[in-house]
A = this chain, B = another copy of it.
Amino acid sequence: MAKVLTKKEEDFSQWYQDLVINADLAEYSPIKGCMIIKPYGYSLWEKIQQTLDKMFKETGHSNAYFPLFIPKSFFEKEAKHVEGFAKECAIVTHYRLKTDEINKKLLIDNDAKLEEELIIRPTSETIIWNTYRNWIKSYRDLPILINQWANVVRWEMRTRLFLRTTEFLWQEGHTAHATREEALEEAIKMLNIYAEFAEKYLAIPVVKGVKTPSERFAGADETFTIEALMQDGKALQAGTSHFLGQNFAKAFDVKFLNKKGELEYVWATSWGVSTRLIGALILTHSDNNGLVLPPAIAPINIVIIPIYKSDDQKTKVLEKCNEIYLELKNLGYSIKFDDRDNYTPGWKFNQYELQGIPIRLAFGPTDLVNNTIEVTRRDTLQKETISLSELLPKIKILLQDIQNNIFNKAKKFKEENTFIVNDFEEFKKKIENGGFFLAHWDGTPETEEILKNETKATIRCIPLETKEEEGFCMISKKKSKKRVLIARAY
């Protein structure tokens, strides 16, 4: 039986959850807020990892690995950082269990209490800057350009598969620099890499910007962000890059001898994206038939499905399908040949639509006679029967076309749902339908607070690429020089 999703027009949130579960991407585990990433979902993460890892290495970064545990006292060292994370962290207090001899249940062994509690890393700035103190003596040791692929834990109260989970997988870059300018440049460089990755591979158009002080990463002097617009009109923060100033260097006493022979605190950045990107991918492109994947990130680009009735047909059809499969595979395409005979072609069609495979090839007895093949693209669901001799050039063009089409569709959606507003009452009405809003803001946290309390929307960022423009704050009517991006967000 093909699985049927809730229609997204009926219940967007349920549609999302149905899709994640039915497309075999992930499911909840018995541990509150922790997910199990199933093989198909994990293969998406692997594609994301491979692509980003290559981009990081091409820009001079190396991977390393730091401990999962952070001593509690490390958190106390950076005041803002602790505020941001202390309230949602998993705490290890003991290192041994014992068996209750009476009922055979396991108990904590109170003789094995840790002297100092350990926090499961919610992010690794503290343990890493404590380490950098020993690695950095002089300007010759700089820059340090390190990335880590790891799991982190933030004890979230309200969770959703991929979008917000207690444990999640991510990468966190942590760099150390001799000058303010160089660190700032690095933070912006990584923001640009995230934006390029989102647009070129995930086909998600993004707005690059800088967060307001109240939305900054706990411990950052400046947080850069890429913000994307989901199909329900909500914003999703897809990646952040932080200019940390000298905050962590001061907290962990990391100084270096500069070229002039003076001791100076080191400048820092950190930047990360997570399995949340899979949520963004789903929410941006998918439809009521399931996932729609851009070819550049799809783990499988083409699936070939044989169609036959008689045994005689079966032999001939499978043989020809296998030939086509091998030819495409040898050309480097990621292709799957689904020759299982305990599922019908119809079931398979639905399944691969659900899983978002960009191109479906179907080949049956008529095609044998006519030397043809049916080609269906997932993004538009358009079908076409073409001559076998046209298949190779067709596929090459189609994959590029699907990638472009998915991106352009998302871009058009974003543009059509980005509104310029000047009046708060007008905004309050419009925000109910979602979208990105460009409005003037007076720059104060008080006004931000009013916005949030009255509309549940937040300033997503101050866009980097919009022009200065004289105006008046939508809420306070005070003078403003630039519009900010406002939306309700995931």
Least CB distance from A482 to B in Å reads: 36
In A27-54, the 8 Å CB interface with B consists of 29-31, 34-39, 41-43, 45-46
A87 engages B97 (CB within 8 Å): yes
Across-interface contacts of A92 in B (CB, < 8 A): 90-93, 120
A385 contacts the other chain (CB 8 A)? no
Across-interface contacts of A34 in B (CB, < 8 A): 67-69
Which residue of the partner chain B has the closest CB to A156? Answer: B95
Across-interface contacts of A89 in B (CB, < 8 A): 95-97
A105 contacts the other chain (CB 8 A)? yes
Known A-B contacts A36-B131, A155-B95; the reply to A68 vs B105 at CB < 8 A is no
Number of copies: 2
Known A-B contacts A39-B146, A82-B106, A130-B30; the reply to A67 vs B117 at CB < 8 A is no
B63 engages A43 (CB within 8 Å): yes
Which residue of the partner chain B has the closest CB to A67? Answer: B34
Known A-B contacts A87-B96, A95-B88; the reply to A63 vs B46 at CB < 8 A is yes
Across-interface contacts of A64 in B (CB, < 8 A): 36-39, 41-42
A201 contacts the other chain (CB 8 A)? no
A42 engages B69 (CB within 8 Å): no
In A306-363, the 8 Å CB interface with B consists of 342
A86 engages B82 (CB within 8 Å): no
Across-interface contacts of A150 in B (CB, < 8 A): 151
Partner of A118, one of B31, B39, B62, B76: B31
Complex Cα–Cα for A106 and B82 (A): 9
Across-interface contacts of A68 in B (CB, < 8 A): 34, 120, 151, 153, 167
A76 engages B95 (CB within 8 Å): no
Which residue of the partner chain B has the closest CB to A118? Answer: B31
A169 contacts the other chain (CB 8 A)? yes
Complex Cα–Cα for A184 and B476 (A): 73
Known A-B contacts A43-B62, A87-B97, A89-B95; the reply to A106 vs B67 at CB < 8 A is no
Known A-B contacts A39-B62, A106-B76; the reply to A94 vs B97 at CB < 8 A is no
Partner of A93, one of B39, B66, B94, B169: B94
In A88-131, the 8 Å CB interface with B consists of 88-99, 104-106, 108, 117-120, 127, 130-131
A443 contacts the other chain (CB 8 A)? no
Complex Cα–Cα for A41 and B34 (A): 30
A189 contacts the other chain (CB 8 A)? no
Known A-B contacts A37-B64, A140-B342; the reply to A86 vs B97 at CB < 8 A is yes
Complex Cα–Cα for A407 and B72 (A): 46
B76 engages A105 (CB within 8 Å): yes
A37 engages B62 (CB within 8 Å): no
Complex Cα–Cα for A130 and B31 (A): 12
Complex Cα–Cα for A344 and B68 (A): 38
Least CB distance from A127 to B in Å reads: 7
Partner of A117, one of B41, B73, B108, B342: B108
What are some 25 contacts across the A-B interface (CB < 8 A)? Answer: A29-B66, A30-B71, A31-B69, A31-B71, A31-B118, A31-B127, A34-B69, A36-B65, A36-B67, A37-B64, A39-B63, A39-B146, A42-B62, A42-B65, A65-B169, A69-B90, A72-B97, A75-B97, A76-B104, A82-B106, A86-B96, A87-B97, A89-B96, A91-B93, A97-B119
The chain A residues found within 8 Å of chain B, CB to CB, are 29-31, 34-39, 41-43, 45-46, 62-73, 75-76, 82, 86-99, 104-106, 108, 117-120, 127, 130-131, 140, 146, 150-151, 153, 155, 167, 169, 342
Please list the 8 inter-chain residue pairs (A to B) with the smallest Cβ-Cβ separation, ordered nearest first: A39-B62, A34-B67, A37-B65, A86-B97, A95-B155, A91-B94, A93-B93, A31-B69
Other A-B pairs beyond A41-B64, A92-B92, 14, CB < 8 Å: A34-B68, A35-B67, A36-B65, A36-B131, A37-B64, A42-B63, A65-B169, A68-B120, A76-B104, A82-B106, A93-B108, A97-B119, A108-B117, A140-B342
